[in-house]
Structure 1
Amino acid sequence: MAENDIDLVIKNAMVVTADAEHRVIDNGGVAVAGGRLTAVAPTAELATLETQAARVVDGSGMLLMPGLINTHCHAGDCIFRGLVEDLPLEPWLQTVWKAEGTILNVETSRLGTVLGFAEMLLAGVTTVMEMFWYPHETVSAAREVGLRVSTGGIFFDGPGMNDQTEDQRMADAEGFFEAYAGDDDVFPATMPHGAYTVGPETLVRAKRIADAHNGLYHTHAAETRAEQADVQARYGRSVIRHLDHLGLLDERTVLAHCVHVDEEEIAILARTGAVVSHNPVSNLKLGSGIAPIVDMLDTGVTVTLGTDGAISGNDLDPWLTLRLAALLDKGASHRADAVSREQALHMVTRDGARALGADDRIGSLEPGKYADMILIDIDRPHAVPMFDPLTHLIYSTAKSDVRHVFLAGEHVVRDGELTRIDVAETLAAVRALAPKVAASIA
């Protein structure tokens, strides 16, 4: 290998690879060339590569791991953070939609999305599945801040917040796939809101578009008892059975929530390969319930993690989401071993990548994959002693521990600061908008 072919070497870190064998290197690091990992090894084995590297980062006192993957979010709703409180989902949504209808346009949606993406990147999220109204603006915001994103055409009965007809939605969804075909930082999808807000024919048409482009299909499903009752009354089937009857469930389908599902519905998810995005924070805060993820895991369902939007969970903290995912079903099932630390870690890394059809490129630290990774400060009182790094990540790590974030080897967060944007400008713009947002539901 010629001199300077190596772009970056990180050394002297504790490395959690999140690979299939759950490999941990006590004193190790990585080498990066062309945005991809060329070596994941003990520090001593990186010495030759270090002499060739354009940049060397000393990871002493830090833990190196893959960037986190958030499989369900509405980052654009960050401008409504804390606006609607203490309501269950259905009346909560009516108030939220009133605010969105008054405030949202291309500019304000992009503003909220930049704010949410900045928050997530600082917390160590490097890939997000984002459902919001203006997907091209979503991609633009992700590129401005420094994340990979899965997004695409939104489907909603009626004009929605972007005032479109169904035919316009279909055309825009097709155009989105064509615009980003082959882009390594975008995982295109179609995103109907849910079975209670989108009719069967539209659900099927959206899935056909996704399938035609080998894309993803993302929707809310079985979040509340009221939703289940509504869909059952309209179509004579529960939500998961309805989606299965329409032929919408396969390994490219990501279902957000799945709180209220029975044993047969869990078996349907396992049979079809549909992925569940577990969102414990919003499920708890809206009083929706606790998803039976232990039963899903035991049945072979792929479970991933989502923060949902800051309007329903008040922040976009992947570490709180991870901890709750590991803890809630232990208590609910009275089984201390219900969710293993390996399972929990994979929900937010390897399995998140699998949900996006990208586990060959992201989700673990392995040669050939993109150098999407984070360095976490473990030289802190709550990190000492550390008998097991996976246990620390799941039960002790906070978003404030994230020191550095790399996207394809680019240093997009350095010492807790974003490198691509001046977030102060975004904060000022959101503060200036806040009085109008408050007035929207007055």
Structure 2
Amino acid sequence: MPETLFRNVRLLDLQAHGGMSAPCDLLVRNGRIAAIGALGDIPGATIVEGRGDLLMPGLVNGHFHSSVTHMKGRLPSLPLEVFMLYECPELEVLRPTPREAYLRTMLACIEMLKTGTTSVQDDCFFVPEPEPAIIDAVAQAYLDSGIRARLALDQPEVPELDKLPFLRELLPPELRAPLELPSPCPAERLLELYDHLITRWHGAAEGRIKAAVSCSAPQRVTPGYFAALDALSRKHDLPFYAHMLETKLQRVYGEDCLGGRSLVRYTADLGLLSERMNVIHAIWVDDADLDLLAETGASVAHNPISNLRLGSGIMRWRDMQDRGIPICLGVDEAIADDAINMWSVMKTAALIHTLDRPRYESWPAPGEVLRAATEGGGRAMREPGLGTLAAGAPADLNLVNLRALPFVPLNDLPRQLVHCELGQSLRLTMVAGEIVAEGGRLCRVDEAALLEEAAEVFGAKREAMDRADAQVARYLPAYRAMYDRASARDVGMRRRLD
């Protein structure tokens, strides 16, 4: 790989006056930042003339589900438990072909790379079950696009009725029976599939593609499988993804089904809460939960647009920051955001927490938000240096045109990055030392051909998705009653404005 010299750039520096450095040069060698300073001529290096523009770390999408990128805009805003009824029913009619899995993942890669997201953590779920060919198709899309990715298998392992409160009594017998069946993919098979993922893909593309593990959520797996995943995580130093306390109903589940323990406490009691874990959402947490997260060093993946779209509530940003709990930012998924753009996630994170408390000094600062979208994501991914501009860090970079509209006039760089930019001012994006997007065009793939194919393939899939909606609609009254019952419960906290 040739060396690349960024000449006459300003580096994002949140400690410096104005949020950026004086003009300097930055050298990329072997996929990493090799040197910073007045570097002069570097024989053989490819020169990128910075013209005084901003060089900043690439953005990290700290939580994502690629499985439903083709469904953006399909569902209305619904509470999570009702939303999931339509999002991921384990129905044969929804089984994708490998090409469909490749295309839906590539759609996400196109949107991310064109808007400066250079890394993603894909907590990928598989309907009706994972299989090697589909895992391979997802990973191949990440490899082909040039993005940096962590890929996990988000697959529940227990029957549906064991994951949720109240449903057994709310469902008539004829509807209850199918939800009492075990998962089509038991723990033994899931561990075989993880062996395939890790053996085939972990470390591919010189470490750009790596594995992660996922239990989906603690209440969706048995303790034995939960522990087996933790052992894999520890053995290979993999991030461990776990949705916890996204909704009030999940808080109620802990009260009724876990002997009054929250999902965070339950995980800690199993000895599985660690610095490798990405606790996803963490909205309905109490002080004891936050103390456990801080004590163990677990990261929290904050998905503010998804939380709004599904009415889940407002996360305790300031309380987490005050305890030193690492935070990363995520899109969640295309149908819980309807875009895969980390700039809009940053802006929403900066704004939604103004509703959390009246003391405005405690509202998120632009620098905190930028760190969460860069350094925080790198920490969650367990990639040393990712999201920074330090010598030796991965060369995942965005060159931002400071003469573009969001920055004219330039009043406060961090604030304008968070509040004004949407990814339209990028001159180029680099991943692992390779320029993967430049001038609004991707360098590795034929975007137009992929979009044309995806439109045709998923247009033909619409009838199957409509049939799936009709199949699950019969469960809607019980799920709505479950949601209403949980909503009426006093759990000693409010994370919504109702």
TM-score (structure 1 length as normaliser) = 0.91
SS of the equivalent of 1:138 reads helix
Map of 1:156 onto structure 2: 156
Decide which of 418, 425, 438 is 1:394's aligned counterpart.
418
**In the TM superposition, what is the alpha-carbon distance from 1:56 to its structure 2 partner?**
0.9
Map of 2:257 onto structure 1: 234
The answer to whether the aligner puts 1:327 opposite 2:351 as a matched pair is: yes
The answer to whether the aligner puts 1:93 opposite 2:118 as a matched pair is: no
CA contact (8 A) 1:95 1:441 kept: no
Map of 1:283 onto structure 2: 307
Map of 2:246 onto structure 1: 223
Structure 2 unaligned spans of 5+: 127-133, 161-182, 468-498
Aligned pairs for 1:424-435 within 5 A: 424-435=448-459
The answer to whether the aligner puts 1:111 opposite 2:132 as a matched pair is: no
The answer to whether the aligner puts 1:27 opposite 2:51 as a matched pair is: no
Map of 2:138 onto structure 1: 138
The answer to whether the aligner puts 1:124 opposite 2:119 as a matched pair is: no
Identity within the alignment, %: 27
CA distance in 2, matches of 1:90, 1:109: 24
Decide which of 185, 189, 202 is 2:212's aligned counterpart.
189
CA distance in 2, matches of 1:144, 1:19: 36
Deviation digits for residues 68-113 of structure 1, max 9, x if unmatched? 1111001231111111112111111101124975334233222111
Look up the equivalent residue of 1:164 and give its one-letter code: C
Look up the equivalent residue of 1:128 and give its one-letter code: V
Decide which of 63, 67, 70 is 2:54's aligned counterpart.
63
**In the TM superposition, what is the alpha-carbon distance from 1:261 to its structure 2 partner?**
0.6
Deviation digits for residues 13-68 of structure 1, max 9, x if unmatched? 32215689997223233111222212223xxx13233xx24311112263210111
Which segment is superposed worse, 145-154 or 66-75? 145-154
CA contact (8 A) 1:77 1:310 kept: yes
Map of 2:378 onto structure 1: 353
The answer to whether the aligner puts 1:409 opposite 2:429 as a matched pair is: no
**In the TM superposition, what is the alpha-carbon distance from 1:246 to its structure 2 partner?**
1.5
Decide which of 369, 372, 396 is 1:372's aligned counterpart.
396
CA distance in 1, matches of 2:237, 2:18: 30
CA contact (8 A) 1:322 1:348 kept: yes
The answer to whether the aligner puts 1:47 opposite 2:47 as a matched pair is: no
CA distance in 1, matches of 2:24, 2:361: 30
**Residue 100 to residue 293, structure 1, CA distance change in 2 (3 Å):** farther
**Residue 102 to residue 377, structure 1, CA distance change in 2 (3 Å):** farther
**Residue 190 to residue 20, structure 1, CA distance change in 2 (3 Å):** farther
Which segment is superposed worse, 180-189 or 200-209? 180-189
The answer to whether the aligner puts 1:303 opposite 2:295 as a matched pair is: no
**Residue 222 to residue 371, structure 1, CA distance change in 2 (3 Å):** same
**In the TM superposition, what is the alpha-carbon distance from 1:6 to its structure 2 partner?**
6.6
Map of 2:69 onto structure 1: 78
**In the TM superposition, what is the alpha-carbon distance from 1:341 to its structure 2 partner?**
2.4
CA distance in 1, matches of 2:32, 2:50: 18
**Residue 99 to residue 108, structure 1, CA distance change in 2 (3 Å):** farther
**In the TM superposition, what is the alpha-carbon distance from 1:369 to its structure 2 partner?**
1.6
**In the TM superposition, what is the alpha-carbon distance from 1:251 to its structure 2 partner?**
0.7
**Residue 366 to residue 261, structure 1, CA distance change in 2 (3 Å):** same
SS of the equivalent of 1:434 reads helix
CA distance in 2, matches of 1:347, 1:22: 19
Deviation digits for residues 339-360 of structure 1, max 9, x if unmatched? 2222211101112111122123
**Residue 169 to residue 123, structure 1, CA distance change in 2 (3 Å):** same
CA distance in 1, matches of 2:378, 2:16: 13
Which segment is superposed worse, 193-202 or 143-152? 193-202
CA distance in 2, matches of 1:375, 1:203: 41
CA distance in 2, matches of 1:437, 1:196: 32
CA distance in 1, matches of 2:58, 2:451: 24
CA distance in 2, matches of 1:60, 1:404: 13
Which segment is superposed worse, 106-115 or 227-236? 227-236
CA distance in 2, matches of 1:18, 1:405: 20
CA distance in 1, matches of 2:2, 2:220: 50
Look up the equivalent residue of 2:87 and give its one-letter code: V
Aligned CA-pair RMSD: 2.4
**Residue 267 to residue 113, structure 1, CA distance change in 2 (3 Å):** same
CA distance in 1, matches of 2:91, 2:435: 34
**Residue 426 to residue 102, structure 1, CA distance change in 2 (3 Å):** farther
CA contact (8 A) 1:195 1:231 kept: no
Decide which of 212, 221, 225 is 1:202's aligned counterpart.
225
Which segment is superposed worse, 10-19 or 125-134? 10-19
**Residue 122 to residue 355, structure 1, CA distance change in 2 (3 Å):** same
CA contact (8 A) 1:18 1:65 kept: no
CA distance in 2, matches of 1:403, 1:174: 40
**Residue 19 to residue 352, structure 1, CA distance change in 2 (3 Å):** farther
CA distance in 2, matches of 1:182, 1:9: 26
Which segment is superposed worse, 252-261 or 207-216? 207-216
SS of the equivalent of 1:260 reads coil
The structure with the largest alpha-carbon Rg is 2
**Residue 22 to residue 248, structure 1, CA distance change in 2 (3 Å):** farther
Map of 2:368 onto structure 1: 343
**Residue 239 to residue 20, structure 1, CA distance change in 2 (3 Å):** farther
The answer to whether the aligner puts 1:270 opposite 2:294 as a matched pair is: yes
Look up the equivalent residue of 1:393 and give its one-letter code: L
SS of the equivalent of 1:25 reads coil
CA distance in 2, matches of 1:295, 1:101: 44
CA distance in 1, matches of 2:17, 2:121: 26
The answer to whether the aligner puts 1:259 opposite 2:283 as a matched pair is: yes
CA distance in 2, matches of 1:221, 1:354: 19
User: How many residues align structurally?
Assistant: 431
CA distance in 1, matches of 2:62, 2:198: 19
CA distance in 1, matches of 2:159, 2:441: 39
